[in-house]
Amino acid sequence: MNNPHHLMPCKAKPTEQMQKLLQWFESIGVHKFDVHLKKNSCIVSNTSKVAPVEKWITCHENIDVHRIYSLWGWIKAENAHQTDIYFRPHFQESHPVIFLDDLNLAQAYMVARYYASAVVQTSANNTHVWVKTTRPLHREERKAVQSHLSKKGFSDKGSVSGDHLGRMCGVMSHKRGCWVNAILFSTPRAYDPPLLDSTPHHGGGGGACFIFPRSPVPQ
């Protein structure tokens, strides 16, 4: 019988990390993705002050993993020229996954130990965590659930849109000056999100948060 708290540390090469992350998504029933780029540049004004400029570019939407694989060489080349790479499950579809932003490593391990998760480390003590849910959620439902969890201390309150982009692993984060790594995949139960009112004018309310049976941070 499988250990319900099985953790699978990822120590793969950059391309393999990207593949493992996309394979994890496919294993939970997510098959279509969006890839966006954020170009970083600087403008020097007549006062000789350098002002950073960021420009979002929607490159490919509603594409499958094979298309992402075929784009990988181009993605790495763009990344080498001060471009940050982001992706998400296709925002117009329902998916059995939610996105948690800006969890520290202890929080990420806590979630991944008890809920099926993919943990992407974005800086020394910062992560994105994708969490499998027991049912597909449409965009407004994802927003309501992520907002609910952010109020409980899980996720950045500014990253609960329901279609938020996460960083692609295996590439450089130019914002942080470090590599983005997929560090952990876990296979416990899926998270059963509370039934929340996802209408825009009412917002979410009530329901259960994450439940951890015992001290969840691995030693």
The dihedrals phi and psi of 163, each to the nearest 5 degrees, come to -135, 30
Residue 156 confidence (pLDDT): 75
Using CA atoms, how far residue 79 sits from 14, 37, 63, 215, in Å, is 13, 9, 20, 39
Is position 194 within any domain?
Answer: no
CATH number of the domain to which 102 belongs: 3.30.70.1790
Q: Is 46 exposed, middle or buried (0-12, 13-18, 19+ CB in 10 A)?
A: exposed
Angstrom distance (rounded) from CA 135 to CA 154 = 20
| Band of pLDDT at residue 198, cut at 50, 70 and 90 | low
| pLDDT value for 205 | 38
Q: Are 217 and 113 in contact (CB under 8 A)?
A: yes
- Whether 117 has a pLDDT exceeding 50, the answer reads yes
DSSP 62-124: EE-HHHHHHHHHHHHHHHTTTEEEEEEE-TTS-EEEEEEEEE-HHHHHHHHHHS-EEEEEEET
User: Over the chain, what is the mean pLDDT?
Assistant: 84
The residue among 88, 183, 188 whose CA lies nearest residue 142 is 88
Q: Give the range of the structural domain holding residue 111, as residue numbers without chain letter.
A: 7-31+93-186
Q: Does residue 116 lie in a domain region?
A: yes
Report yes or no on whether pTM surpasses 0.85: no
Q: Is residue 75 part of a domain?
A: no
Is residue 152, in this structure, part of any structural domain at all?
yes
Q: How confident is the model at residue 50 (pLDDT cuts 50, 70, 90)?
A: low
User: What is the number of structural domains in the chain?
Assistant: 1
